[in-house]
Amino acid sequence: MAALVTFEGSEGAGKSTQAALLRDALGQDASLLAREPGGTPLGEEIRRLLLHSAPMAAEAEMLLFMAARAELLEKVVRPALAAGRTVIADRYHDSTLAYQGGGRGCATWWPESFPRPDLTFLLQLPPELGLQRALGHGRKPDRLESEDAAFHARVVGAYEDLARREPERFRRLDATLPQDVIHSAVLAAVRELSVSAR
């Protein structure tokens, strides 16, 4: 079934873990896992600039995230959807709306050429707990992770607003639960999607 399923949430909420579990459950032939920013040679270069370079204008940051996304859509996502695969995106355009819109205060929009996800999982976890999880193994924080608590609180608030505005698309998940419990809820929602698509 061709569908775009996205995982969103603040730092360390378990998006990559759940995206990989879903890909394993659906199988590599039927699904494709894409990570943002990145997933293409250009996207990986942009990722390095975004996460590890010197400070940049908020709008430049937003447009770079969107440029990496445009490349990923053209090279990876659209071909996979056209081949009937389910694309599982570890972050997508809602991240830009939440981080650059909510966090930085940029004027955001949804480009017409960016497909709307069929289903979006919002993993909810207090940002300080997520940062502890993400940085727990002694990794140095990147540029976004280094932002202050108020920034991360605004990101969480922006995600809440997005989920409230589109209750059909968003499924909120309690990210403090064990991984397998969250995975069961994810799988049930994706199976429901494929039944309703028939």
* Site residues for ligand T5A per CB under 6 A: 9, 11-17, 36-37, 51, 65, 91, 95-96, 99-100, 133-134, 144-145, 175, 178-179, 182
Residue nearer to ligand T5A on the CB measure, 2 or 67? 67
- Distances from the Cα of 66 to the Cα of 30, 48, 97, 135, 186, angstroms: 26, 14, 11, 26, 26
CB of 160 to ligand T5A, least distance (A): 17
Least gap, CB of 83 to ligand T5A (angstroms):
24
Shortest Å, Cβ 128 to ligand T5A: 13
Q: CB 42: neighbour CB atoms within 10 A? A: 15
Report, in Å, the least distance between residue 55 CB and ligand T5A.
14
CB closer to ligand T5A, 22 vs 119: 22
Residue closer to ligand T5A, measured from CB, 44 or 166: 44
Burial classification of residue 54, based on how many CB atoms lie within 10 Å of its CB (0-12 exposed, 13-18 middle, 19 or more buried): exposed
Q: Do residues 89 and 117 touch, judged by C-beta distance below 8 A?
A: yes
Residues 6+ apart with CB under 8 A from 6: 88, 89, 91, 92, 94, 117, 119, 120, 121
Q: Toward ligand T5A, which CB reaches closer, 1 or 45?
A: 45
Q: Which residues have a Cβ under 8 Å from the Cβ of 198 and sit 6 or more positions away?
A: none
Give whichever of 15 and 85 is closer to ligand T5A, judged by the CB atom. 15
Nearest distance from residue 195's CB to ligand T5A, in Å?
Answer: 26
Least CB distance to ligand T5A at residue 100 (A): 6
Residue 147: how many CB atoms within 10 A of its CB?
A: 18
Phi and psi at residue 95, in whole multiples of 5°? -60, -40
> Which residues face 170 on adjacent strands?
120
Query: Which residues does residue 9 pair with via DSSP β-bridges, in sequence order?
Result: 123
Of 16 and 78, CB closest to ligand T5A: 16
